[in-house]
């Protein structure tokens, strides 16, 4: 797999504004942000990582500064917080992730930890060992955490069902589902490099034979009336969720569940109504900062 350089774009803001700023940065760069805060600090560093070819120009950075300054300090505030742009070589990418990625538990059922962690699992706890590489997804972001919570909850409340991970990234959701007994498990991502890293993570967890990985987007995934899923996780932006709603709906079996995440709170109502028009009903949802995620049940006649 070819290694490539990445850009790190970061800004430091008051901790209580970090989620809102992360929403602005994700909307600006179409990339999930990482938040890092020291326990003795009142500020948070919000960072996105971009491919070498996607270095933001001065106009994008100026617009980002204005949006953050207006939201955090108010329209009349003249201070525009410095936005730092630095280039990351492939060899120091893992060192950057080590600063952000710590073990995380989902009840006593699932432990997500990086490859370098010595954290031991509790009795009966499934373990996912993860190396994000150049793909995203560690379970710490609110949208990913909600998906993992639902994978755990639904596994505990009934028989694990067929599972589809749309936009797999690091493969964290598919690997967790395979570890918890869902089958069959399929994971897709439009980025072939992300799929490569997801497959590496699946091998590290010895579940590569339990997951079907495909480097395709929803537009290239032809619906099959004979192949639907009991649980589909779609951690995608609201515009993609709206555009691909019919394709996603066709992949969910009757009484199956669709977990939608990656939605800014202000955009949730339009996403919900669009899916309800296709036969879904809202089972539960959660708001965390600027993000809102939900679980929808398909009620086909």
Arch. (CATH architecture) of 6-96: 2-Layer Sandwich (3.30)
- Find where tokens 């679980």 sit: 295
State how far the alpha carbon of 119 is from the alpha carbons of 102, 104, 106, 113, 200, in Å. Answer: 10, 10, 14, 8, 21
Segment 42-88, tens digit of pLDDT: 778 888 888 766 777 888 888 888 888 776 655 444 444 578 888 77
- Find where tokens 């008051």 sit: 14
Q: Is the bond preceding residue 111 a cis peptide, omega within 30 degrees?
A: no
Question: Which SS3 state, helix, strand or coil, does residue 248 take?
Answer: helix
Helices (H), the chain: 18-29, 58-73, 93-100, 142-157, 172-179, 192-204, 238-243, 245-251, 268-276
- The structure's pTM equals 0.72
How many alpha carbons fall within 13 Å on the CB side of residue 48? 23
**Residue among 92, 83, 104 at smallest CA distance from 33:** 83
Question: Strands 104-106 and 110-114, how do they pair?
Answer: antiparallel
Residue intervals of the chain classified under CATH 3.40.50.150 are 101-298
Cα 182 to Cα 111: distance, rounded to the nearest angstrom: 17
Segment 235-261, tens digit of pLDDT: 888 888 999 999 999 999 989 999 998
CATH number for the region 101-298 comes to 3.40.50.150
Query: What is the pLDDT at residue 185?
Result: 96
The residue among 285 and 21 whose pLDDT is bigger is 285
Segment 181-223, tens digit of pLDDT: 999 999 998 888 788 888 989 999 999 999 999 998 888 876 6
State how far the alpha carbon of 127 is from the alpha carbons of 5, 10, 166, in Å. Answer: 30, 31, 22
CB atoms within 10 A of CB 249: 20
Residue intervals of the chain classified under CATH 3.30.70.120 are 6-96
């Amino acid at each position: 797999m070819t290694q490539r350089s990445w850009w790190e774009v970061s800004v430091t803001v008051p901790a209580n504004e970090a989620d809102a700023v992360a929403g602005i940065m994700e909307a600006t760069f179409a990339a999930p942000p990482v938040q890092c805060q020291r326990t003795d600090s009142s500020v948070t560093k919000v960072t996105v990582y971009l491919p070498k070819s996607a270095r933001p120009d001065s106009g994008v950075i100026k617009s980002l500064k204005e949006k953050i300054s207006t939201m955090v300090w108010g329209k009349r505030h003249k201070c525009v917080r410095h936005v730092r742009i630095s280039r990351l070589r492939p060899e120091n990418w893992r060192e950057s992730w080590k600063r952000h990625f710590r073990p995380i538990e989902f009840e006593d059922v699932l432990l997500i930890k990086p490859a370098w962690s010595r954290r031991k699992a509790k009795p009966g706890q499934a373990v996912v060992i993860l190396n994000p590489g150049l793909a995203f997804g560690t379970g710490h972001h609110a949208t990913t955490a909600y998906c993992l919570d639902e994978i755990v909850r639904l596994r505990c409340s009934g028989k694990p069902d067929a599972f589809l991970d749309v936009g797999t990234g690091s493969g964290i959701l598919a690997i967790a589902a395979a570890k918890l007994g869902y089958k069959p498990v399929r994971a897709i991502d439009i980025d072939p490099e992300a799929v490569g890293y997801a497959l590496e993570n699946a091998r590290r967890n010895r579940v590569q034979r339990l997951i079907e990985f495909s480097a395709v987007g929803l537009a290239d995934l032809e619906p099959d009336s004979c192949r639907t899923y009991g649980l589909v996780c779609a951690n995608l932006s609201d515009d993609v969720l709206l555009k691909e709603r019919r394709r996603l709906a066709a992949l969910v079996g009757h009484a199956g569940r669709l977990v939608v995440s990656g939605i800014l709170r202000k955009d949730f109502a339009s996403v919900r109504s669009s899916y309800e028009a296709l036969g879904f009903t809202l089972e539960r949802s959660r708001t965390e900062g600027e993000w809102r995620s939900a679980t929808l049940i398909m009620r086909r006649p």
